[in-house]
């Protein structure tokens, strides 16, 4: 069975099934199609499936022409989960958010496994790419995949390979970002390595699915901790009248032992704000309290409140309450030059302003209409920035520093700018650093 599947992968005769056609699933599907595989893309969103089959991607950095070409070459999207039986490889790219108690929510993973289980057969490999805590593959995937009698490593192959997508990064793409792979057995690892070697330039095997799961957490927790540190340094520097961005730039001239991280209004994206809580939750099962990681998470979570405090004080200095005033947010995606608003601190800050009675609007060239989100709802569309609109706002809050913004125009016409990204380094009477 192992050699048969390996041969199909090597000859590009295997059918690749990708469950979850979002920010991770779509670029992965395009890559497999481009190297010669036939791909089935599964999604529960019928509208998204129809759009993709029509050659349209709602993800900004994936061109419609590329999607249309992929459809022509062999990508088919469907809501029919029974077609899983046609796939030789099943790659799950589904969300792993936190619940309202900041605990891991694996419902998308477990529901996906339960949905595909009746259609699994011998000779398939199942890979989970969703970020999660160490042990998920063994504890949640394995029993569901083998419940029908299939034997892992003999009939069916179970691997974990964390996604490493970075939307908007022009230097790296799905093919060039090295792929970590861990298998439940040695045969699982061999098949998983073959699955990804067919499409990814470099595959890095590790000893187990747990090691692969921990690798992804370490990558993002390292970044979260360093951002938490620089965010706390920003608060201290601000109190002392020091420009933290100047300090970081100066420190970055050291050619060794220092990596530059810049502060902001909080953390965003699907991974970095969430991953630390996955590990701290799992660590408690082992009687461990990850104080250092949790502290960084707490600092980063408080940053929208810090920016809100800066906004309120700046308005008070101008004899204006927050309630009833017009607040224009500049940028609502979680980082510059992308359309991804998942866990965006800008959206969290919009919620806080609305809760305090402020009138909220936004301008973001990458997000023309406020999208449907699990935890947030705004009936808003992006507004064009003009001299008149800037002057009419009681305050503009720079939350995402898109390159497309005309920062000179903003500086000239905005009555009050709350700058959480350090774009305005020179002192100006209408700029408040936050």
Q: How confident is the model over 320-338, as pLDDT tens digits?
A: 999 999 999 999 999 999 9
| Whether domain 254-433 has CATH 3.40.50.720 | yes
**pLDDT score recorded for residue 169:** 83
Q: Which CATH class is domain 2-208?
A: alpha beta
Contact 233, 299 (CB under 8 A): no
User: What integer best gives the mean pLDDT of the chain?
Assistant: 95
Closest CA to 89 of 46, 138, 128: 128
Per annotation, catalytic residue among 93, 113, 188, 271: 271
CATH topology match: 2-208 vs 254-433: yes
Q: Is the pLDDT at 46 greater than 80, yes or no?
A: yes
Mean pLDDT of 19-42: 97
**pLDDT score recorded for residue 155:** 96
Q: Is the pLDDT at 191 greater than 90, yes or no?
A: yes
Residue 99: pLDDT band (50, 70, 90) is: confident
**pLDDT score recorded for residue 302:** 94
Q: How confident is the model over 134-155, as pLDDT tens digits?
A: 999 999 999 999 999 999 999 9
312 or 375: which leads in pLDDT: 312
Instruction: Please state, in angstroms and rounded to a whole number, the distance separating the CA atoms of residues 346 and 311.
Output: 13
Instruction: Please state, in angstroms and rounded to a whole number, the distance separating the CA atoms of residues 425 and 245.
Output: 8
Q: Does 188 participate in catalysis according to the annotation?
A: no
Mean pLDDT of 393-408: 97
Beta 326-330 vs 395-398: how paired, if at all?
parallel
What Rg do the C-alpha atoms of the chain give, in angstroms? Answer: 23
Q: How confident is the model over 72-81, as pLDDT tens digits?
A: 999 999 999 9
So where are the chain's domains?
2-208, 254-433
Residue 376: pLDDT band (50, 70, 90) is: confident
Instruction: Please state, in angstroms and rounded to a whole number, the distance separating the CA atoms of residues 205 and 212.
Output: 8
**pLDDT score recorded for residue 64:** 95
Backbone angles phi, psi at 270, to 5 degrees: -75, -20
Residue 276: pLDDT band (50, 70, 90) is: confident
**pLDDT score recorded for residue 33:** 98
Q: Is the pLDDT at 387 greater than 90, yes or no?
A: yes
425 or 67: which leads in pLDDT: 67
Instruction: Please state, in angstroms and rounded to a whole number, the distance separating the CA atoms of residues 349 and 309.
Output: 11
Residue 418: pLDDT band (50, 70, 90) is: very high
HEC states along the chain? CHHHHHHHHHCCCCEEEEECCCCCHHHHHHHHHHCCCEEEEECCCHHHHHHHHCCCCCCCCCCHHHHHHHHHHCEEEECCHHHHHHCCEEEECCCCCECCCCCECCHHHHHHHHHHHHHCCCCEEEEECCCCCCCHHHHHHHHHHCCCCCCECCCEEEEECCCCCCCCCCCCCCCCCCEEEEECCHHHHHHHHHHHHCCCCCEEEECCHHHHHHHHHHHHHHHHHHHHHHHHHHHHHHHCCCCHHHHHHHHCCCCCCCCCCCCCCCCCCCCCCCHHHHHHHHHHHCCCCCHHHHHHHHHHHHHHHHHHHHHHHHHHHCCCCCCCCEEEEECCCCCCCCCCCCCCHHHHHHHHHHHCCCEEEEECCCCCECCCCCCCCCCCECCCCCHHHHHHCCEEEECCCCCCCCHHHHHHHCCCEEECCCCCCCCCCCEEEC
Q: How confident is the model over 254-263, as pLDDT tens digits?
A: 999 999 999 9
Mean pLDDT of 107-117: 97
Instruction: Please state, in angstroms and rounded to a whole number, the distance separating the CA atoms of residues 315 and 395.
Output: 8
Instruction: Please state, in angstroms and rounded to a whole number, the distance separating the CA atoms of residues 23 and 51.
Output: 15
Instruction: Please state, in angstroms and rounded to a whole number, the distance separating the CA atoms of residues 311 and 173.
Output: 38
Residue 41: pLDDT band (50, 70, 90) is: very high
Q: Is the pLDDT at 58 greater than 90, yes or no?
A: no
Percent of the chain residues past pLDDT 90, beyond the cut: 90
Instruction: Please state, in angstroms and rounded to a whole number, the distance separating the CA atoms of residues 140 and 281.
Output: 16
- Segment among 103-117, 135-149, 266-280, 382-396 with least mean pLDDT: 266-280
Residue 101: pLDDT band (50, 70, 90) is: confident
């Amino acid at each position: 069975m192992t050699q048969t599947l390996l041969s199909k992968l090597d000859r590009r005769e295997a059918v690749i099934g990708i469950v979850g056609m979002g920010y991770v699933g779509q670029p992965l599907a395009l890559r497999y199609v481009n190297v010669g595989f036939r791909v089935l893309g599964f999604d529960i969103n019928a509208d998204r499936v129809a759009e993709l089959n029509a050659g349209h991607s709602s993800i900004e950095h994936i061109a419609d022409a590329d999607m249309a070409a992929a459809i022509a070459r062999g990508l088919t999207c469907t809501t029919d989960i029974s077609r899983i039986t046609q796939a030789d490889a099943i790659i799950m790219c589904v969300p792993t958010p936190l619940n309202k108690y900041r605990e891991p929510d694996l419902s998308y993973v477990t529901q996906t496994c339960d949905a595909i289980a009746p259609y699994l057969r011998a000779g398939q490999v199942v890979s989970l790419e969703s970020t999660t805590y160490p042990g998920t593959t063994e504890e949640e995937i394995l029993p569901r995949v083998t419940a029908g009698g299939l034997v892992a490593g003999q009939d069916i192959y179970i691997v974990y390979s964390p996604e490493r997508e970075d939307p908007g990064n022009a230097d790296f793409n799905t093919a060039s970002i090295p792929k970590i792979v861990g298998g439940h057995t040695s045969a699982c690892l061999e098949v998983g390595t073959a699955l990804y070697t067919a499409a990814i330039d470099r595959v890095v095997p590790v000893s187990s699915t747990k090691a692969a799961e921990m690798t992804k957490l370490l990558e993002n927790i390292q970044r979260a901790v360093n951002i938490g540190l620089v965010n706390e340094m920003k608060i201290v520097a601000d109190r002392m009248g020091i420009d933290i961005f100047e300090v970081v730039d100066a420190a970055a001239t050291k050619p060794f032992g220092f990596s530059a991280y810049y502060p902001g209004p909080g953390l965003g994206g699907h991974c970095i704000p969430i991953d630390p809580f996955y590990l701290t939750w799992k660590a408690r099962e082992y009687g461990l309290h990850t104080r250092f990681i949790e502290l960084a998470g707490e600092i980063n979570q408080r940053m929208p409140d810090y920016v809100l405090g800066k906004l309120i004080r700046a308005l008070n200095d101008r004899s204006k309450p927050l309630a009833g005033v017009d607040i224009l947010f500049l940028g609502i995606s979680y980082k510059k030059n992308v359309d991804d608003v998942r866990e965006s601190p800008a959206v969290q800050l919009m919620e806080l302003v609305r809760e305090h009675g402020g009138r909220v609007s936004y301008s973001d060239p990458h997000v023309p209409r406020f999208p449907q989100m699990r935890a947030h709802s705004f009936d808003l569309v992006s507004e064009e920035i003009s001299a008149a609109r800037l002057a009419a706002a009681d305050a503009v809050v720079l939350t995402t520093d898109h390159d497309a913004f005309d920062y000179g125009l903003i500086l000239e016409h905005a009555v009050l700018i709350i700058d959480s990204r350090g774009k305005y380094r020179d002192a100006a009477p209408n700029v408040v650093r936050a």
